[in-house]
Amino acid sequence: MKDDCIFCKIIKKESPSNIVYEDSNVFAFRDIQPQAKHHILVIPKKHIPTITDIESNDVYGQIFSAIKKIAKQEGMEKGGYRVCINNGPDAGQTVFHVHFHVIGGEKISDKMA
Ligand code: AMP
């Protein structure tokens, strides 16, 4: 945990969030500026700044297992959804705690950028 990280504060419930899912390794909550009907941020509980800093592939397994459950829970399984990561400043990463955007619940733009 990093004291000045907003997502660490959300995990610790020191900052409010709209929680969607939680297990021992993964936390998920609704984005405050949703880009579609459903816009959920799925994050490792461990503070890792960027995907470049991920040292164990276990993190990906844990995250994608959670995403699958969340998609079912949110009713996005059938229609599909987008999973994206902004990695680093050039890609628009603004919060330096790894997060996977899960976006769907309606037809979304086919443009990636
Ligand atoms: P990125 O630009 O990929 O780093 O995405 C950061 C995302 O975090 C943005 O979509 C923000 O809207 C979202 N965000 C920032 N602070 C919060 C917060 N306190 N609660 C929920 N979402 C947040």
Give the structural domain span for 63.
Answer: 6-104
Q: Which residue puts its alpha carbon closest to atom 1 of ligand 1?
A: 93
pLDDT score for 110: 85
Q: Tell me what the mean pLDDT of segment 36-52 comes to.
A: 98
- 50 part of a folded domain: yes
- 38 part of a folded domain: yes
* pTM of structure: 0.97
Helix (H) / strand (E) containing 101: strand 100-104
Q: Considering its fold, how many domains does the chain have in total?
A: 1
- 95 part of a folded domain: yes
Q: What is the CATH number of the domain that holds 35?
A: 3.30.428.10
Q: Does residue 6 have its Cβ closer than 6 Å to ligand 1?
A: yes
- 112 part of a folded domain: no
Counting Cβ atoms within 10 Å, is residue 22 exposed (0-12), middle (13-18) or buried (19+)?
middle
- 73 part of a folded domain: yes
Q: Please give the number of the atom of ligand 1 that sits closest to the Cα of 10.
A: 19
Report whether pLDDT(42) > 80: yes
